[in-house]
Structure formats: structure tokens, C-alpha cells
Amino acid sequence: MLERIPSVIDVLVPQASTYAGDIDGLFTIILVSVGIWFFASEIVFFWLIFRFRKKDGVRAQYVSGEKQSEKKWVTYPHLAILLFDVLIVVAAVRVWYDIKQDLPPAERTVRVIGQQWAWTFVHPGPDGEIDTADDIAKVNELHVEVDRLHHYKLESKDVLHNFSVPVFRLKQDAIPGRVITGWFTPTKTGEWDVQCAEICGVGHGLMGARIHIETAEQHAAWMAQESPLQLAANAAQKQEEE
Amino acid sequence: MAAITKVWRTALVALGLVALAGAAAAQQSTPPGAELYELCAQCHGERGEGNQVVLAPAIAGLQEWYVVAQVRNFKGGLRGTHPADVAGLRMHPMALALETDEELKAVSAYVASLPPVYPEPTVEGGDAERGAQLYGTCVACHGPDGAGNEALGSPRLYQANDWYLLSSLQRYKNGVRASNPANANAQVMLGIAGTLADEQAMKDVVAYIMSLRK
């Protein structure tokens, strides 16, 4: 539902996951709610300054804020802001549940390993399973298939990192000693940034990688080319030729 | 009395100006490599003494051509891009921080200019006598005294940390440090490390290399 709310964020960073629109919608709700109250309070503030400016023969008045007629200037906006807060919280909890609490069944699983200062991505090979002989491990290069629900299993070899894919609107801390499972479904083909979003040492700013979102055909071709079994077969053939 | 105070004041101001001029001159004569090295110092230490905890070997006084070659390898992805190369993966982005080849050369020259530290051996269980026999394979490139050979791209060995030599041999043998076929020197070492039967043989040869220090 939230993804239908127009957003300005995707002008700068495209949305490339099923939930990117929900996150952007949430930002829009917060921006509009806070924006309305920002402008309302500034208008009232400057109007009061102008209305009760210094005038000849008029003494300044001390307002203690105890009378009902004075208190309402604080109470009514306060209640209205609480109402807006409830709106934001309800929307945020729905989005949080969908992205972080709920874990739809995976069509593919990739292992994401952070370390100072690189990402290693272990992709399933042609057998579709990870932790088997045909896994494809790549440094700073993640290949996924568009419109497939992926689980990621996130680990860290050393310190805190954060697996951040801006086009997915995804950020997840990696914590040494834990394997954190999450999900995403890419919706747009192309090559985009992956970054670390948790200060992890002197090389943090250089800990960038690329995600390649491919069509089924492109992904199958990449897998066939990079599969360790295929690479071994190629090497054996080359040796034979020599 | 007032005249003496004035003399003192003038002398102090003059001294201050001289000190400032000296500092400015020192600033100008500082090689840019020293500034660039501040990034390296985070792991390799201010004197290039290394820090095993973060897998950073001693680099002070390494041969300049070797430092240039290795940093270029790291930068170009010829080294430090294997998923199991924990230390190498740290160096790859650090080398990328050197934007130009001039910067790379400047920091390499600074590293080479640091006085060598000859770190204390930490690897136990190596037999230098057995290692001397095994070292026969290394002589062709690294020389009988372990001094290296620039023409062959073989660095001086006895200056390195023994733990670093051991881990390098291990990483060469399992292909981690020779994962990119375009790195020709690493491919040579892949074959050479393969002739060492096991970790004990590696420790023996490392113990012998340590004994080559004069």
C-alpha cells in the first residue's frame, strides 16, 4: 500500500526491490507529517512575534501559561502531533514486520560475509543449493536473478559491518558470531552499489561492492561460466590441448 | 631596566620567527610519502614494525621496487582478492586509496626509507638444519643469502616476520595468494610452495631463513 505514495527518493536512487517502495512511502509519510507541523508552528511563531511586537504605550505582559485559554496553545498541537505519531508508528510497524519479521520461503539463498574491508558472496551453483561443491564465491561481486525471492545469510569474520543495498532500501547489521537471515526480491535488472553502513575501521569507506541483477538467462550464463566444476573442466581441457 | 626588557622581547620574537621558519622549511621538505603513510601506520605501525594481531607484517626498509610491485598488485586485484585471503582483502582497498601512481611510488619510497626492524621470530618448532636443505629450491631466485633478486622479482627474505613467511607459504600452497593467473611471480611461488610437503617443512625453511640474518 505504501509503495503507491509518490516519493522523491527514487529520482536519486531507483527502487529495485519489492519493499523499496514501502520504505520510500514511509519516508514520505514522515516528511509530510513533520513538514506540516514545521510550517504550521513557524507560521504561528512568526505571526505571534509580529502581532505582539513592541508598541508605544503598551507594556510587556508576563504569561504564566496556567489559564486554559493559554494552555490550549500547547495542548491542542501536542494531541494532534500524537495522532500523527500513531499514524507513523502504525505504518512503520507494518513495514518492519513485512521486511524484518516475516521471512517468506526462499527460491535462492546467498551467503554474505563481511570482513575488513571486503564482501564475499557465496552463490549457489547450478544445483541451486549453497554449501555444496559447486558454490561460486566472489569478492565484492553479488549476482542475483530478478523477480526471485532470495534469502541472505549474513556473517562477519571480524567486527560489526552492515550489509547495505541502497536500491533495495536494505540495511542489515552483520555481527561476529551470528548468522543473520533476511530476504529480498530484486525487481529491476542492472548493476548497483553495495556498501558497508557501519563504521568498521580505517578502510570502511572503501568497502564497496557491486550487485548484478540479471535476467534468468543472464544469470544461468554467468553461473555456467563461473561454476567451479566448469572452471575445473575448462582448465583440464586447456591442459589437454597443451 | 625598560631597555633590557625590550631587548629580551625582541630576542624572543626573533627566536619565535626563526622557529616558525624552521618548522615551515621542515614541513616543505617532508616527503609526501610520509603523509600518505599515515594510513598504512594504522596497521603496520608508525615505524613500519608491523602488528601480527591485525596480520600486518613489518614493512620498514623493504626494497622499494618490491613495495611498488606489491602495492600495484593489491591495487590492480592481482593480489588480495581471494575470499580466504583475510589480510590481502584488507590491503586491496588500502591500495585503492592511493589515487595515482605517483602517490603509490611516494609511499613505497617512504616505506623503503624506514630503518629495517628485523622482528623477533615467533614461530616455534622449526628446524633450521633441515630447512637449509629445503632452502636449496629457493636459492635460484632469492639467493643463497636470502637477499633477493630484483631482476626476478624475488624479494629479500630474512627481513620479514617469520609468521608472515609461514603464512605466505601456506597461502601460496593452497592457491590463496596465487589465485589470479595474471600474477606471474605468484604462480612461480605456487609451484615452489607445492614442493614443501607439509607445515613442518615450511617451518623448517622459515627457521633457516631467520638464521640468514647477519
Domains of chain B and CATH, by start: 31-117 (1.10.760.10), 120-214 (1.10.760.10)
pLDDT of residue B43: 93
Domain A108-241, second-level architecture: Sandwich (2.60)
B121: Cβ–Cβ under 8 A, 6 or more apart, which residues? B162, B207, B210
Cα separation of A17 and A21, whole Å? 8
Each residue's pLDDT tens digit, A26-70: 999 999 989 998 999 999 999 999 998 999 999 988 888 888 888
From B39, B20, B40, select the one nearest B28 (Cα to Cα).
B20
From B91, B101, B120, B90, select the one nearest B210 (Cα to Cα).
B120
To test the contact with chain A by mutation, choose from B89, B94, B179 the residue with the greatest count of A C-beta atoms within 10 A, namely B89
pLDDT of residue A158: 93
Least confident of A8-12, B109-113, B153-157: A8-12
Residues of B in contact with A122 (CB under 8 A): 83
Residue A88, amino acid: I
pLDDT range class, residue B113, cuts 50, 70, 90: very high
Residues of A in contact with B92 (CB under 8 A): 117-118
At A163, which helix (H) or strand (E)? strand A161-165
Strands A141-145, A150-156: pairing kind: unpaired
Cα separation of A175 and A158, whole Å? 8
- Interface pTM, i.e. ipTM: 0.71
Q: Which residue in chain B is spatially nearest to A209 when comparing CA positions?
A: B93
Contact B189, B178 (CB under 8 A): yes
pLDDT range class, residue B26, cuts 50, 70, 90: low
Find the mean pLDDT for residues A78-84: 91
Contact A15, A188 (CB under 8 A): yes
Could you tell me which residues are beta bridge partners of residue B51?
B56
CA B84 to chain A, closest CA, distance in angstroms equals 9
Find the mean pLDDT for residues B18-22: 69
Parse chain A into domains and list their residue ranges.
Answer: 2-101, 108-241
Cα separation of A175 and B92, whole Å? 23
Cα separation of A217 and A231, whole Å? 19
pLDDT of B3 strictly over 70: no
Residues of B with CB under 8 A from a CB of A: 39, 42-43, 81-83, 86, 89-90, 92-94, 96-97
Determine what percent of chain B is predicted with pLDDT higher than 90: 72
pLDDT range class, residue A191, cuts 50, 70, 90: very high
Each residue's pLDDT tens digit, B126-177: 999 999 999 999 999 999 999 999 999 999 999 999 999 999 999 999 889 8
Three-class DSSP category at B153: coil
Contact B27, B95 (CB under 8 A): no
pLDDT of B29 strictly over 70: no
Find the mean pLDDT for residues A153-162: 96
pLDDT range class, residue B30, cuts 50, 70, 90: very low
